[in-house]
Amino acid sequence: MPALPILFKIQRQRLILEEYTLNSGLCSSLASSFAVVPNCINQISLTQNGLKDAQLAVLIEGLQKLETMKSIVIKHNEVHLKTTEALQPLMKRVFPHNV
């Protein structure tokens, strides 16, 4: 069993977290796990997770370690300056590593 049970939610390289509450610790752990398994997902959907801007930014920074990341969906979470700054490197990637 993975150290993070949330990793069981990965199906066909997609991590879909809808109405799955995340806290700072989970965001940090999940972000760190992406460095260990760098090609585990290529899509992530975060919907109504109770995430604040700083927590979401930590998670997005972790996604930068994933070369295969193609799609990020964020709905009903707090997106402000920290998150938009964390998204910039992902958005500037060139093909074939673009988002």
Amino acid 1: pLDDT: 45
User: Does an H or E element contain 87, and which?
Assistant: helix 81-91
Tell whether 97 is covered by a domain.
Answer: no
Q: How confident is the model at residue 6 (pLDDT cuts 50, 70, 90)?
A: confident
Tell whether 26 is covered by a domain.
Answer: yes
Tell whether 53 is covered by a domain.
Answer: yes
Tell whether 9 is covered by a domain.
Answer: yes
Tell whether 87 is covered by a domain.
Answer: yes
Tell whether 96 is covered by a domain.
Answer: no
User: pLDDT at residue 2 above 70?
Assistant: no
Sheet of 43-47, strands arranged across: 10-11, 14-18, 43-47, 71-75
Range of the domain at 11: 5-91
> What is the total count of domains within the chain?
1
Tell whether 22 is covered by a domain.
Answer: yes
User: pLDDT at residue 65 above 80?
Assistant: yes
Query: pTM of the prediction?
Result: 0.90
CA atoms within 13 A on the CB side of 33: 17
